[in-house]
Amino acid sequence: MTFDHVDYRSLDVPAAPFSQPDRIPDFPKNKVPRHVGVIMDGNGRWAKKRGLVRTDGHQAAEPVVFDIIAGAIEAGVRYLSLYTFSTENWKRTPSEVRFLMGFSRDIIHRRVSQMNAWGVRVRWSGRRPRLWKSVINELEDAMEQTKNNKVIDVVFCINYGGRAEIADAASEIAKEIASGKIKGTRVTEKMIAEHLYNPDIPDCDLVIRTSGEQRTSNFLPWEAAYSELDFVPELFPDCGRDVLWRAIDDYVHRDRRFGGAK
């Protein structure tokens, strides 16, 4: 879905380009997933199909990201985790990595006032070492500016790896055991959950991956252990809030058993 009449790049957009109320699907309120994760994949293939360079695909993804945030707000999603740059993405060419770092930094900078106007609380999940300092600075600035917003938490997963997150939690626990802050040596699931990057954020209910790939690529292995999965064929730059809504519509009909039995 595209909204050609909306200038997404404008810094002065006061409110979300929200849909007409009658267009927003009427999901049963108590069934909307509280926390949705999106693996935004397929930018490179989208560009290649058009004879463009991979970075053009990343650029084409920007309006889609904000359309999905607007759609998540409309649907009543409370937490939205966006897989933006993985700990494995450093394997790409130096020029693509440079582009992705600079582009992430610039998007956060350019869009923070828009997100603030929408009631978005900006969050970050990821590892500090190796991540560009300028990206961390923009994230920290955006998190500070939006810390009192309560419409939706949008978690940018940048230099995020699920195994790294669990290893980092384990290191913190080891330190606290060594210093005596934690008594004994028994590590519980609760302790690990409390030492993740954002322990206040509830488990992920629904993970959507675009571009047809059916894997989770190290995204939220702990938080999404019981998540519903939806693999959609569209390349990310071809997506929009309609893809999110379709996934939610499917999700509300699923039977989540969590190991129990009826």
Q: Interface residues with ligand IPE (CB under 6 A)?
A: 39-45, 83-86, 88-89, 100, 211, 213, 215, 217
93 is in an annotated binding site: no
- For residue 163, how many C-alpha atoms fall within 13 Å in the half-sphere facing its CB? 6
Q: Does 205 bind Mg ion (CB under 5 A)?
A: no
Instruction: Decide: residue 143, CB within 10 A, 0-12 exposed, 13-18 middle, 19+ buried.
Output: middle
Q: How far is the CB of 13 from Mg ion (least distance, A)?
A: 29
Nearer to ligand IPE, 173 or 216 (CB): 216
Based on the residue annotation, tell me whether 89 is a catalytic residue of this protein.
yes
227 carries a ligand binding annotation: no
Q: Which of 226, 233, 231 is nearest to 256 (CA)?
A: 226
Which residue lies nearest ligand IPE, judged by its C-beta? 44
Among ligand IPE, Mg ion, none, residue 100 binds (CB under 5-8 Å by kind): ligand IPE
Does position 41 bind Mg ion by CB under 5 A? yes
**Rounded least distance, CB 195 to ligand IPE, Å:** 23
Q: Which is nearer to ligand IPE, 7 or 88 (CB)?
A: 88
Residue closer to ligand IPE by CB (options 27, 85) is 85
Say if residue 76 is exposed, middle or buried (CB neighbours under 10 Å; 0-12, 13-18, 19+): middle
The listed partner (ligand IPE, Mg ion, none) that binds 85, CB under 5 to 8 Å by sort, is: ligand IPE
> Do residues 19 and 241 lie in contact, with contact meaning Cβ atoms separated by under 8 Å?
yes
Q: What is the DSSP letter of 204?
A: P
For the chain, the first-to-last Cα distance in angstroms comes to 39
Dihedral sign for Cα 67, 256, 161, 195, please.
Answer: positive
How many DSSP H helices and E strands does the chain contain?
7, 6
**260 annotated among ligand-binding-site residues:** no
Least distance (Å) between residue 246 CB and ligand IPE: 19
Report the nearest approach of ligand IPE to the CB of residue 162 (Å). Answer: 11
Point out the catalytic residue in the list 4, 7, 26, 41: 41
Of 147 and 215, which has the nearer Cβ to ligand IPE? 215
**Spatial distance between the Cα atoms of 211 and 220, rounded to a whole number of angstroms:** 19
Q: Give the Cα separation of 135 and 106 in Å (integer).
A: 8
Nearer to Mg ion, 146 or 211 (CB): 211
In the complex, minimum distance from the CB of residue 41 to ligand IPE, in angstroms, rounded to a whole number: 5
Any residues with CB less than 8 A from the CB of 228 and at least 6 apart, and which?
33, 205, 206, 207, 251, 254, 256
Residue in 30, 67, 89, 116 annotated catalytic: 89
C-alpha closest to that of 114 among 60, 43, 62, 39 = 62
Residue 159 falls in which region: left (phi positive, over 0), alpha (psi -120 to 50) or beta: left
The reply to whether 149 belongs to the active site is no
The binding site for Mg ion (CB under 5 A) comprises 41
Binding-site residue positions for Mg(2+): 41, 228
Q: Which residues are catalytic?
A: 41, 89
- List the binding residues for substrate: 42-46, 54, 58, 86-88, 90, 92, 209, 215-217
